Amino acid sequence: MNFSQLQSFVALAETESFTDAAYTVNLTQSAVSHALAALENELGITLIERNRKGVVALTNVGQKIIPHVRALLAQAEAIEQEARASQKLAMGRLRLGSIASLISPSLLAGVLTVFRQQFPDIEVVLFEGTMQEVGEWIENNIIDVGFAFIPSDCLENVPVMTDELCVLLPAGHPLGGRTAVTPNELGEEGFIMANNECTLRFLELAGFRMGKPSIRYQATDSGTILAMVREGLGITLLPRMMLPPKLEGIVALPLEPPQKLTIGLVLNSPMTAAPNTKLFIQTALDWMAAQ
């Protein structure tokens, strides 16, 4: 086995296409095909199945093997980064996970801008997904570090910032003139929430019992949710950092008692993190301290 074969195998698993995999690993499509064939011949098994359209999928044994391959490649990358760090060089790749419904675009863009300015030779590959996906990507060595709620089950974490959960009401709502609202006062309201597991975390954090409140609509985009709230179709819960600078036709109120969200970076182990991961964590902490 060699790293080109292993990289080709992972690229095929992630892209499900020989053409896209070739682009990912900077090889020709023929070279990727030969690398996979050589790896399968050496192992004596079939790792990838393909159909007439060229779409590929992992076999059962391929699914069992690929976590080990990703871990091996991650360790090899970490070794290279440690060697460069000893020479005062910051190079290579950083794979970063983010949750669109949790992380403010200004936070992500701000940290990435500073990171690129300080370490221009580190390539950042951004993965956006749900909380569950970010956790799975960490555990399977698909990403090096990711933004998430803290605490995050089964993962090490580094707190970066604290946010507040807000209730968003349409202008003219009977509760709109209050300085804060309690979950009991919202029990009969219809909610418009994101279609992901962040919704359950928000509702639990706000203190709602199982089965309450009523989720009237679900949408994937926060802009759509805000527009629906503005039209009086329901109310919602969002972190304060996710709110736009101007809330026309919408009132944002804190909960009583206040509900804080701790957002941080999760990874498998801070002690064994690769140098580029440590540099990104420190950059995020420095950026937040300067705000």
Beta bridge partners of 99: 129
> Average pLDDT, stretch 141-170?
84
Q: pLDDT tens digit string along 192-238?
A: 988 776 777 788 777 776 556 788 888 878 888 999 999 999 999 88
Torsional sign, CA 283, 284, 285, 289: positive
Higher pLDDT, 65 or 199: 65
Q: Mean pLDDT score of the chain, rounded to an integer?
A: 88
Range 117-144 average pLDDT: 89
pLDDT reading at 138 higher than 60: yes
C-alpha 166/C-alpha 236 separation (Å) is 8
Domains of the chain in start order, with CATH, are: 1-89 (1.10.10.10), 90-291 (3.40.190.290)
Q: What is the pLDDT of residue 198?
A: 74
Poorest-confidence range of 45-59, 72-86, 169-183? 45-59
In this predicted structure, what is the pLDDT of residue 209? 64
What is the rounded CA–CA span in Å between residue 185 and residue 192?
A: 16
Torsion, Cα of 198, 238, 176, 213 (10° steps) = 0
**What does pTM read for this prediction?**
0.77
- The residue ranking higher by pLDDT, 145 or 131, is 145
pLDDT (0 to 100) of residue 211:
55
Q: Hey, which residues does 17 pair with through a beta bridge?
A: 55
